[in-house]
Amino acid sequence: MRAYERLLKYVCVPTSSDEHSTSVPTSACQFELARLVARELRDMGLSDVRVDNKCYVYARLPATPGYEEAPKIGFIAHLDTSPDFNGENVRPRIIK
* Pairs from 47-56 (Cβ < 8 Å, separation ≥ 24): 54/24, 54/25, 55/24, 55/25, 55/30, 55/31, 55/79
Q: What's the whole-number mean pLDDT along residues 3-31?
A: 88
Q: Is the pLDDT of residue 83 over 80?
A: no
* pLDDT on residue 74: 84
pTM flag (> 0.75):
yes
* pLDDT on residue 34: 93
Lowest mean pLDDT among 31-35, 54-58, 71-75: 71-75
Q: What are phi and psi of 49, to 5 degrees?
A: -80, 130
Question: Per-residue confidence at 1, pLDDT binned at 50, 70, 90?
Answer: confident
